[in-house]
């Protein structure tokens, strides 16, 4: 399971560590952030102790009006063994009772000058990105006219060579050989390259080439949303391939269904051009212009007109 350490959060958002230094290696395993308003009022029945706790002006103003004994009791209950950390926003002074509870439990207390709502939004976006479900897939990811195309297929079918031709045609390489994919929400897959092989292409007979060095910074990008999968396979004369494109097949990556096209490979077929046109056609479909459907409609009209003439 993915996790984020508190010291990473401190570094990322320039948080001030006020107390609980021994707890900076605690881990965050959920992107949900809790603002413990009900807990400050004494209701701890469903306290989500595993979440990062964020205290803003409202929570701290309320707790300051309680008597010292009650305040100590509730702030102590806030610091559990599983609580990853507590952040105080707006540079508000940390209650001394919270500092005592922190020293006792080891829960790190951090502070930020940023407003509560903005801080919550920024941290949530960061955690969702880091804690998103991930997988790795063998293939090549290329940005073609703004469409993230994941090219898959058996080893040696020509994925990297096709990607090289696409880069020469002005498109941008994201990853070759291994694509790291994370699911940022239910229908969004973001692909990137492992750091070790970033910007590199492996061409059989030629070896490893650095795309950025050869073609410039405009030929690469670090990550891209995956919109469609194009699977290359050796031409099978016994197999019937789609010639109209009316039906859209999908494949599942993590929990997301994504369109997939199967492109047969044989000598003489310019795969780079085919994939480039397929990406443009996919973009047109998303804009409401479906050439296959228009042809089908025209064909239906012609057939119906012919039937009327026969009558």
DSSP annotation string for 243-279? SS--S-EEEEETTEEEEEEEEEE-TT--HHHHHHHHH
Average pLDDT over residues 193-210: 92
C-beta separation of 120 from 54 below 8 A: yes
32 or 303, greater pLDDT = 32
The Cα 122–Cα 87 span in angstroms is 13
pLDDT of residue 308: 61
Tell me, what's the pLDDT at 284? 87
Report residue 52: phi and psi, to 5°: -70, 130
Under DSSP, is residue 173 helix (H, G, I), strand (E, B) or coil? Answer: strand
Torsion of CA 205, 209, 211, 213, to 10 degrees: -140
Which residues are tagged catalytic? 138, 159, 177, 243
Task: Provide the token pair at 241.
Answer: 């391939």
CA distances from 91 to 103, 110, 111, 246 (A): 20, 10, 6, 59
The b/e string for 88-115 (b: 16+ C-beta within 10 A; e otherwise) is bbeebebbebbeebbeebbbbbbbbebe
User: Does 290 show up as a binding residue in the annotation?
Assistant: no
Instruction: Flag whether pLDDT at 303 surpasses 60.
Output: yes
**pLDDT band at 307, cuts 50/70/90?**
low
Residue 310, pLDDT above cutoff 70? no
160 is in an annotated binding site: yes
134-295 domain in CATH 3.40.50.300?
yes
Residue 309 has pLDDT above 80, yes or no: no
How high is the pLDDT of residue 244? 67
User: Which ranges in the chain are annotated with CATH 3.40.1390.20?
Assistant: 4-131
Instruction: Give CA–CA dist 86/28, Å, rounded.
Output: 12
The answer, yes or no, to whether residue 311 has pLDDT greater than 90, is: no
pLDDT higher for 224 or 268? 224
For CATH 3.40.50.300, the residue range(s) in the chain are 134-295
**What rounded mean pLDDT belongs to the chain?**
90
Measured distance CA(211)–CA(208) in Å, rounded: 9
Tens digit of each residue's pLDDT (9 = 90 or more) over 35-90: 999 999 999 999 999 999 999 999 999 999 999 999 999 999 999 999 999 999 99
pLDDT at residue number 66: 94
Residues 200-204 have a mean pLDDT of: 91
Query: Is-contact 36 47, C-beta < 8 A?
Result: yes
Q: Is residue 112 part of an annotated ligand binding site?
A: no
**Do the annotations mark residue 104 as ligand-binding?**
no
For 263-294, write each residue's pLDDT tens digit: 988 887 889 999 999 999 888 888 887 776 77
**155 annotated ligand binder:** yes
Q: What is the DSSP letter of 29?
A: -
Is 42 marked as binding a ligand?
no
157 labelled as ligand-binding?
yes
Q: Which CATH superfamily is domain 4-131 in?
A: HprK N-terminal domain-like (3.40.1390.20)
Q: What is the pTM of this model?
A: 0.75
202 in a labelled binding site: yes
């Amino acid at each position: 399971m993915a996790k984020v350490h508190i010291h990473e959060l401190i570094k990322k958002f320039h948080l001030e560590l006020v107390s609980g230094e021994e707890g900076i290696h605690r881990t965050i395993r959920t992107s949900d952030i809790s603002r413990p308003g009900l807990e400050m009022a004494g209701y701890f029945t469903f306290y989500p102790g595993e979440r990062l706790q964020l205290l803003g002006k409202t929570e701290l103003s309320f707790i300051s009006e309680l008597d010292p004994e009650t305040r100590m009791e509730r702030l102590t209950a806030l610091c559990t063994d599983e609580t990853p950390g507590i952040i105080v926003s707006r540079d508000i002074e940390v209650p001394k009772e919270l500092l005592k509870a922190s020293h006792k439990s080891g829960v790190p207390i951090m502070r930020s000058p940023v407003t509560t709502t903005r801080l919550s939004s920024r941290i949530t976006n960061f955690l969702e990105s880091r804690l998103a479900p991930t997988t790795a897939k063998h293939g090549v990811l290329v940005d073609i006219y703004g469409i993230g195309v994941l090219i898959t297929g058996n080893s040696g079918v020509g994925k990297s060579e096709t990607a090289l031709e696409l880069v020469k045609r002005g498109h941008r390489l994201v990853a070759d050989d291994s694509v790291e994919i994370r699911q940022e929400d239910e229908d969004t897959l973001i692909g990137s390259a492992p750091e070790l092989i970033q910007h590199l292409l492996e061409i059989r007979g030629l070896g490893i080439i650095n795309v950025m060095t050869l073609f410039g910074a405009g030929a690469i990008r670090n990550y891209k949303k995956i919109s469609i999968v194009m699977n290359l396979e050796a031409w099978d004369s016994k197999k019937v391939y789609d010639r109209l494109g009316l039906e859209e097949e999908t494949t599942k990556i993590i929990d997301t269904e994504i369109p997939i096209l199967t492109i047969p490979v044989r000598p003489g077929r310019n795969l780079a051009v085919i994939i480039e046109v397929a990406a443009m056609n996919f973009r047109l479909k998303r804009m409401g212009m479906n050439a296959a459907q228009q042809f089908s409609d025209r064909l239906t009209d012609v057939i119906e007109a012919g039937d009327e003439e026969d009558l």
